[in-house]
Amino acid sequence: MNNIDINAIPAEKFELANREGEIHDKKLDTKPVGYLRDATRRFVKNKASIVGMVIIIVLLLFAFIAPLFSQYDVTYTNGFYSNVYPKISTDPIVGFWDGASTEELNTANYYYYRAIEKEGGKKAITKFYGKRTVSTKALNGVVTTETLYKFRLDSYTKLGYKFVDLTAEQYRDLQKYQNETGKRVIYPMQITTAQGTGQVMFNVNDANYWYKTYLTGKNRGEPVLDENGDYIPIYRLTGNDDYDSIRLDGDPGIADPAAENRYRYAQINQTGYRCRVCYYDYFVYLNGYEPLYILGSNSIGQDLLVCLASGTRFSFILALGVAIINLIIGAIYGAIEGYYGGKVDMIMERIVDVLSGVPFMIVAVLFNMHLQQYVGTVGALLFAFVLTGWIGVASTVRMQFYRFKKQEYVLAARTLGARDRRLIVKHIFPNALGTIITSAALFIPSVIFSESMLSFLGIIRFDDVSSGVVSLGTLLSAGQGASNLINYPHLILFPSLVIALLMISFNLFGNGLRDAFNPNLRGTEG
């Protein structure tokens, strides 16, 4: 045990610790760590902010690169392919991301969609699940039974056939294309007016009725089937159609091209030829690629993917532009306030008080009404964001200036003859840099949110499709509504997902920056 009396330790027990040489301060082996380097190091350590940054980068890539790979343009619209479902590839697995919806429809509709495949081979029904008979009792006691068919209906091919008006040249080119590639686009015309009993198109405007249907009674709209259960075609015969290309199987014109009772492939009108085409193949002929909307299309047939990318890009650019302008204005304003203090500060603070009391909505509306005609919607929006946006930056800068302007090093610099401008820019301002960057980063999501909210509510309206400006809020507002939500949920899900991701990532990023630039938090993250 230790039983030495510490009050009376004998002298010989003591010993010099360092006999050789003098004792110097040890030179530091480590490198000095600057403010920015320290901040970067702590930022990188923060997992959440890295996640945020990665999402931002991915969204940036999506916004700027996705449109390059897409076959569509933002200004491209197609009335026929409106509200089609997302389809991952031209040959998808049925049931997942296949551009189709599961429908349960009656006999007439089922045969209608089956007829599309029967005639041209384009599968409208990709999968058949089964049928069931339902009886419904009306209020007057009459029981009606109908058969419902459940199947997967492809939203791209369900269009089937369309009547198109072509000029003589277009008609010739299309025939040439058919002859060269062997792909059939043009199909025979049908009988529209009654020539025999019951041999008339059910709906003259719908090119898909190439078969005989019941025109009246309980089976109205359903096909008349022959003894083999096949459709009975009602193609139109004879007449001049200037057609010299692939003919449909069963066309008597195949055996005898000169025959007067061959099918008719076009109707000649004043402007040229009216033909019946399989729209899917016609689209391929016109554009050179198959229709494919990876995220579906909206009500005017714009590609949602391209719209989203374009909307994200718009959000990015607007938010970044606003953030930079606000940063500059706020920094200058706050620096003057903070540095000079006193009366200058008081007057400038009162201006800030008034401005910060103005609800953003009022500013946005008034600016939109006043400035739109001079600088356009985007310009008015930019002004609205800038009017009150810089206040946050200004107040943080002002605070930093109050904190640092009385410090000794500033006094020293002043004694050495530094002017006000030099003191502000060189000596005090760098201290405020971290907070400025942070407030700018946290300002970006609020701009994105406000912009999408304004355009969602229709307060800010961008010009028509041709301008190419797409906002995420506009996409959201186009997708809302009960029927859209039930039938076309992709219209709202994808835009809201993108907005949510944008907001989350920028907030994570901004919070990470804030923590990294706050030296008080050093060592507390563990």
Partner 1 sequence: MYMFKYVVKRLLLALLTLFIILSLCFIFIKLLPLPEVTGSEEYRLLVEMRRRAMGYYEPILVQLFLFWKRILTGFDWGYGEQMYQVQTVTSIIGEKLPATIMVNLYSLLVSIPIGLLLGIFAAVKKNKWQDHTISTLVMVFISVPSFVYAFFVQYLLCAKLNWFPLLANTTGSYFEPAMVYSLIPAILSLAFGTIAGLTRYTRAELSEVLTCDYMLLARTKGLTRRQATIRHALRNAMVVIFPMILGQFMSIMSGSLVIESIFSIPGIGALYVESIGRLDYNFFMAISAFYTAIGLGANLIIDLSYGFIDPRIRMGAR
Q: Which residues bind partner 1 (CB under 8 A)?
A: 48, 353-354, 357-359, 361-362, 365-366, 369-370, 445, 449, 452-453, 456-459, 476, 480, 482, 485-486, 489, 492-493, 496, 499-500, 503-504, 506-508, 511, 526
CA dist list (Å): 5 to 13, 157, 314:
12, 101, 81
- State the minimum distance, in angstroms, from the CB of residue 314 to partner 1: 17
| 6 vs 482, beta carbon nearer partner 1 | 482
Cα(526)–Cα(515) distance, integer angstroms: 13
- State the minimum distance, in angstroms, from the CB of residue 457 to partner 1: 5
| 69 vs 374, beta carbon nearer partner 1 | 374
DSSP E strand boundaries for 199-350:
266-268, 273-278
- State the minimum distance, in angstroms, from the CB of residue 458 to partner 1: 6
Residue 293 CA, distance from chain mean position: 12
| 327 vs 508, beta carbon nearer partner 1 | 508
- State the minimum distance, in angstroms, from the CB of residue 507 to partner 1: 4
| 17 vs 486, beta carbon nearer partner 1 | 486
- State the minimum distance, in angstroms, from the CB of residue 390 to partner 1: 17
Q: Which two tokens stand for residue 173?
A: 């080119």
The DSSP annotation for 93-136 comes to PTTSSBSEEEEEEEHHHHHHHHHHHHHH---SEEEEEEEEEEEE
How many other β-carbons are positioned within 10 Å of the β-carbon of residue 464? 10
| 155 vs 368, beta carbon nearer partner 1 | 368
Q: Which two tokens stand for residue 343?
A: 């009366």
How many other β-carbons are positioned within 10 Å of the β-carbon of residue 333? 20
How many other β-carbons are positioned within 10 Å of the β-carbon of residue 307? 25
| 436 vs 442, beta carbon nearer partner 1 | 442
Residues composing the chain: 526
| 9 vs 485, beta carbon nearer partner 1 | 485
| 294 vs 365, beta carbon nearer partner 1 | 365
Identify the bridge partners of residue 192 per DSSP, sorted by sequence position.
none
How many other β-carbons are positioned within 10 Å of the β-carbon of residue 97? 15
How many other β-carbons are positioned within 10 Å of the β-carbon of residue 400? 22
- 87's CB contacts (< 8 A; 6+ apart) are 97, 98, 99, 100, 156, 292, 293, 294, 296
- State the minimum distance, in angstroms, from the CB of residue 491 to partner 1: 10
Of 272, 281, 212, 280, the C-alpha closest to 246 is 281
- State the minimum distance, in angstroms, from the CB of residue 281 to partner 1: 35
Q: Helices then strands (H, E): number in the chain?
A: 15, 7
- State the minimum distance, in angstroms, from the CB of residue 501 to partner 1: 9
